Structure 1
Amino acid sequence: MNIKNLTKKGTIFILILTIIISTPSTLVFSEAESIQQQQEIDLQQDLEFLGKLIKFIKANYAYEVTEEELMEGAMKGLFYYLDDYSFYYNKEEFEELTQTVSGDFGGIGLHITEKNGHVTVLTPINGTPGFRAGIKPDDIVVSVDDIDIKGFTSKQAADLMRGEPGSKVKLGIVREGEPKVLYFDIVRELIIINPIEYEILKDNIGYIKIIEFNEHTLENVLKALGQFKIEKVDKVIFDVRNNPGGSLNEVVNVLRFLVPRGPIVHIKYSNGEIATYNSYNDDVNFKLAVLVNKGSASASEIFAGAIKDLGVGTIIGTTTFGKGTVQSIMPLVNGGGIKLTIAEYLTANMNPVNKVGIEPDIIVENKTEEDLQLKKAIQVLKEQ
């Protein structure tokens, strides 16, 4: 066969093959582009429709409502079909959320509750403005800045007491044995919430209660552990019962002082990627027991799950809540913000937690006033 003709035919074959191979991907790419463009058009039409709907409601609704209120309702509605932990927050709600996460807020430092229909002081936080002003446990708060708070919830009352550090608040207090209402003018300060309580129990066993994992958890856990080392305490009970969670970074950083080198928790994102948080600790000093219950959620489940999977402690109590998801908190330009579930976490051994929880090594229920779970933890550590 003529080489020239063969070359010519080969060139034609390669050209045809190139067209056959390349054409489908070109068509797919064009189709994908077309779908994306259509989606953008649909979204734009939906947004225009939403704007018209807001204007229609404002013009025809029987009662007073602003476009800002309707827009806020629409933004909250965006999260309607999402999980229970994703929300839109207006400016006031978002400020409260960020204060809760950080553990810092402007206020006077009172723990309050609702008792017999009254907002009642549980205790003033030591060293805070409320403590220094002379507010006492069992004081009944009847007014805040001359606003009668009869019928208010403790949250509503707390919102009134909080404010910018340096600003003043006036409390009206009814105190047993005092014939008249007592008034206190108190200057607010930055209140830093220490989420840690600790003590040394009998038999030289340390006890640390973590109320939440806020931005001050690590520093205060380390203070407690430092004191335990001075007292030669090497057996420690961590109590995360009714701990609703908090900061992922904070719980990971605490665990890095308690568990050996290796994975602590795995974070699985929506695109399938998995990020692993590790411990680098080659010197584990404490024998541990961890108390949990159905109120232990999120970061406290990461805590218990790591201790259990890595075999450095005994989990005691009842199965935890089962909130195995991670949320990201993002501020918005309008002063509000969103909390959005962005990932699910898995324990060190890749076990799921969401809607499952952490099952204790030893199941103990508190059915009486005696703390049977704590009693069992002490027994377990004494036997080690």
Structure 2
Amino acid sequence: MLKKRTAVFLVIAAMLFGGLFTMVVSELAGTEQTGEAQGLLASSLAESQKASGQADQDETRKLQVALDLIEQNYYKDVDRSKLIDGAINGMMGALEDPYSNYMGKAAAEQFEDSISGSFSGIGAEVSSEDGHVVVVSPIKGSPADKAGIRAKDIILSVNGESLQGLDLNTAVSKIRGPKGSEAVLQIKRAGSEQPIEYVIVRDDVDLQTVSARMEADGIGVIEISQFSENTGKRFKEELKKLEDQGMEGLVIDVRNNPGGVLSVVIDIAEQFVPKGKLIVQVEDKDQKRQKHVSGGSAKPYPVTVLMNKGSASASEILAGALQQSAGAVLVGEHSFGKGTVQTSFDKPFGDGSLLKVTIAKWLTPNGSWIHEDGIEPDIKVEQPEYFTVAPIDKKNTLKFDMNNNDVKSAQIMLEAIGFEPGRKDGYFDQTTEKAVKSFQSKHKLEADGVINSATAEALETVLIEKIRDPKEDNQLNRGIAEIRKEIAAKASKH
């Protein structure tokens, strides 16, 4: 997947999707809470209210003294509200938890929009890790996903402004911008020596979190891009449509799904996990566990779940629940590894700002904590090499006798679309030049064997079409094949 097609990116980045909201409780207006969730919230607030005494007075006085000293002595006028926000950001940073964040009013409003499934941004969840803005996952099907942003990518800068060391709110504000404006991102990616540049046009997006289709032989496929408030309802609707068509097996695709609302993923899992079996366990700091037990029933057809490195949080809850309690087969790649639960508080501030705090960790039905480890698939399947090839830097012209990573990317692309470059090590030899000329002739470009920006754009466009072809999707094809295998095995028993 590739970059600079002046791709339409969404810029929500970051904490607005924040870590992402696998929330057991929420003080966000309109967010439904379970009885257990309300108990956790009440307990948390009660504990915070109990804190009193001389120590608290001393701490409050210390903060007030610092504020007064800055206002009275700093050589410029200061914005008191910015100092207060900075102090809160400092406290959140001291937790050293990338999923606990403070949001000002504007950021909080976007966060609420993202939960409801509608937002503006690049279509990727990011977090702050060791002073870096790190992509947790691009949302499946989003401009970020289509352009080639990947889990674990580090966003180094936006329009030449470094994001290194910035708090997440500030970093997000630099990534966001007016619809139609351009953002140039510098990305650091494992395995690439040089930063990769993505030129992005910002846009607004109304996110559709669920899509479904029926494949041959009665095998349904449901893709979930994230677990927003409307996702549970949409999933039930699409599942019923498939079942009404006589579906014999189901593939659930949560690749590049960064997570979402806990109650939603529990609701979806309950449709597959037999009554009385565990879906997920939530453990607080006192090691008290809330066990979410299914009240649903098992399905009569086989299920596979597709996942990859961008499947995080609620996606991992679903994968773990269906694997361990419903007998589903996990296909694809090792998942991201986010095993914590956040809750969001907005009412205590009274000004529209919001505090998102990690309050617990979640465990799979068998008690495993997958945080920073992820879940291993039952059947490991990698995508073709060209699915994740780095984009070509359009500012440079590539020609015979050059040797660099851009040439290597071009060689991988050429081979993928049927023009044999003879090698994929980054050296531009005569065979590569011949392959380039053949490609240029077929696509009505000047056949000079030189890769300029026009040829690079054409290469990427053709490759994108190939990547979008379901026939090229190794993981999907294996997931469907596994369903067919289970259907055949079931039929042979009758």
Question: Alignment partner for residue 55 of structure 1, among 43, 68, 84?
Answer: 68
The match for 1:350 is 367
The match for 2:78 is 65
1:203 aligns with 2:217: yes
Question: Alignment partner for residue 103 of structure 2, among 67, 89, 111?
Answer: 89
Structure 1 residue 111: Cα displacement: 8.6
Alignment of 1:254-333 (within 5 A): 254-261=268-275, 262-331=277-346, 332-333=349-350
Please tell me whether the aligned partners of residues 205 and 237 of structure 1 are also in contact (alpha carbons under 8 angstroms). yes
Question: Alignment partner for residue 242 of structure 1, among 239, 248, 256?
Answer: 256
Distance 1:367 1:51 in 2: 58
Q: Could you say what secondary structure the match of 1:98 adopts?
A: helix
Question: Alignment partner for residue 482 of structure 2, among 349, 366, 380?
Answer: 380
Q: Give unpaired runs (5+ residues) of structure 2.
A: 1-49, 125-140, 143-158, 162-170, 182-203, 388-471, 487-494
Structure 1 residue 154: Cα displacement: 11
Please tell me whether the aligned partners of residues 266 and 347 of structure 1 are also in contact (alpha carbons under 8 angstroms). yes
Structure 1 residue 68: Cα displacement: 1.1
Distance 1:158 1:57 in 2: 30
Q: Counterpart amino acid of 1:348?
A: P
Cα 1:273–1:70 change in 2 (3 A) is: same
Distance 1:85 1:290 in 2: 26
- Would you say how many aligned residue pairs link Structure 1 and Structure 2? 290
Please tell me whether the aligned partners of residues 249 and 301 of structure 2 are also in contact (alpha carbons under 8 angstroms). yes
Structure 1 residue 203: Cα displacement: 2.5
Task: Tell me the TM-score normalized by structure 1.
Answer: 0.68
Please tell me whether the aligned partners of residues 321 and 355 of structure 1 are also in contact (alpha carbons under 8 angstroms). yes
Higher relative contact order, structure no. (Cα contacts within 8 Å, ≥ 6 residues apart): 2
Please tell me whether the aligned partners of residues 112 and 154 of structure 1 are also in contact (alpha carbons under 8 angstroms). no
Distance 1:281 1:359 in 2: 26
Structure 1 residue 39: Cα displacement: 7.1
The match for 2:376 is 359
Distance 1:213 1:327 in 2: 14
Q: Counterpart amino acid of 1:362?
A: I
Alignment of 1:173-212 (within 5 A): 193-212=207-226
Task: Tell me the TM-score normalized by structure 2.
Answer: 0.53
Indicate the larger mover: 250-259 or 37-46.
37-46
Distance 1:157 1:267 in 2: 33
Please tell me whether the aligned partners of residues 270 and 297 of structure 2 are also in contact (alpha carbons under 8 angstroms). no
Q: Could you say what secondary structure the match of 2:311 adopts?
A: coil
Distance 1:367 1:94 in 2: 39
The match for 1:78 is 91
Q: Counterpart amino acid of 2:336?
A: F
Q: Could you say what secondary structure the match of 2:281 adopts?
A: strand
Cα 1:69–1:320 change in 2 (3 A) is: same
Please tell me whether the aligned partners of residues 91 and 335 of structure 1 are also in contact (alpha carbons under 8 angstroms). yes
Query: Identity over aligned residues, as a percent?
Result: 31
Q: Counterpart amino acid of 1:282?
A: S
Structure 1 residue 288: Cα displacement: 0.7
1:334 aligns with 2:347: no
Note the alpha carbon deviations across 1:154-189, whole angstroms, 9 max, x for none. Answer: 98797645xxxxxxxxx89xxxxxxxxxxxxxxx9x
Please tell me whether the aligned partners of residues 245 and 296 of structure 1 are also in contact (alpha carbons under 8 angstroms). yes
Structure 1 residue 151: Cα displacement: 9.5
The match for 1:116 is none
Distance 1:334 1:342 in 2: 23
Stretches of 4+ moved more than 4 A in 1?
110-113, 150-159
Q: Counterpart amino acid of 1:95?
A: E
Q: Counterpart amino acid of 2:114?
A: T
Cα 1:230–1:355 change in 2 (3 A) is: same
Q: Could you say what secondary structure the match of 2:94 adopts?
A: coil
The match for 1:231 is 245
Q: Give unpaired runs (5+ residues) of structure 1.
A: 1-36, 114-122, 125-149, 162-170, 173-187
Note the alpha carbon deviations across 1:99-131, whole angstroms, 9 max, x for none. Answer: 1112246x8xx9999xxxxxxxxx99xxxxxxx
Q: Could you say what secondary structure the match of 1:356 adopts?
A: coil
